[in-house]
Structure 1
Amino acid sequence: MSAQRVTSNALVSSVQLPAKPKRVVYSFNKPTLLELPDDKKLQVKQAIDYLIDELKALCPAWKQAWTANTDMRVVKRNWAEALVSEGITSKSQIDLGLRLLRNEQSPFLPSISQFVTLCQPTPENLGLPSVDDAYKQAFAVSHPAANFSHCHPASYHAACEVGLYVMTRYSEQTSRERFAKAYKETLSKIWRGEAIRALPDSETKTAIIKATPEVANKALTDMRAMLGIKRKRILS
């Protein structure tokens, strides 16, 4: 797995220092339909045409929402804009939503927001750890001497997006909330086929920590600074 970091649609955070405790505000760079290149717009158009036909087949009562007076061009544009803003632009993503909608066996059309939710994969759909398990893994590796052997790359990537410092220094409620948002975006990246961070080489990292006194001294100095303790170096 590549360790290259993909910056498009990445999670962006800004820290507001005056707040107590510090508050991180998350936002997502959501694309719009007009910003897509022409070939991508064509792909979206074909996907929406396919979606509308499938919705009519799955939901016999569709005429209650789309009457003879409904401008289907407006309907398709609204659906396209909503799906694109959530990164849902491929037939495979739409098929996931249609499969789950088929299981509901409802004769009525879903709302756009309901269908968007169906198209967004859960960890279980992708064979990944649940949010709770991923958080536990992320918290366990948010330390300098962490062992990564039991951590999934998706858990580690989401932890890095939040910030390893936040994972270990903030309250559990705060770190869990921020991790859940980052993990959701990580799932979307995986579903779109984008690269996420690879796990660090835990064996090499552990060996360096054990073999380098400078690293140990720095760790002790940082710990004493947090506790307000002043002492001389004890390692040489």
Structure 2
Amino acid sequence: MSEEDFLLLSGIQHMAFCERQWALIHIEQIWSENVRTVEGKHLHERADDPFFDESRKTVRIVRSMPLVSRQLGLRGVADVVEFHQSKVEVTGETCRLQDRAGWWRLLPVEYKRGRPKKDDRDAVQLCAQAIALEEMLGVTIAAGCLFYGETKRRETIELTPAIRQHTLELAQKMHRLVREGLTPKAKKGKRCSQCSLVEDCQPYWMLKHRPVAEYLERMCSWEAEEE
């Protein structure tokens, strides 16, 4: 896959939330703001500083770290990547850093507004970041963290085989929809009330109007019954 065909890594969260929302944003280029998106943007502005590189004894903190994953065909930016120094090499888990002594273990941290969610939309975005870091630095990352603005707490997310497989499947679906130029039909659900694109999506209107072919077939069947 050419790097020109890579998709935005951040979009995998939209895909996990709603396939139609992802397509409206990333295929049809539609975007709307609501309170949640504005709050989320402000939270990320505090985390995203591409020139920030801080060391605290045995921890190096890097913000806005560019990411690329050929396995997923995604590119993006990690909010925060922490490098924790290890006294010894742990095969497959630690790496060397330029101009830094010792061995280092990676911990990706993604910032989110609100509280932890019942679904895994935040976890798959974190997992995609971890997969990219693994490819770039030749390590395996067992877990990452989600920091929520409302609770002011970190939630540790284990990057299990199941979440990794789900992340891969979502990325593959994103590429398939782009290749086919498809925007999935609306599916009404509780999530619609949380979506900033509900007015553009019009899920209720679309579900009330059936295809013309179905309408004609129904009308013909009624006329046949009356005869």
The structure with the larger Rg is: 1
- Indicate the structure with greater helix content: 1
Per the normalisation by structure 2, the TM-score is 0.25
- Indicate the structure with greater strand content: 2
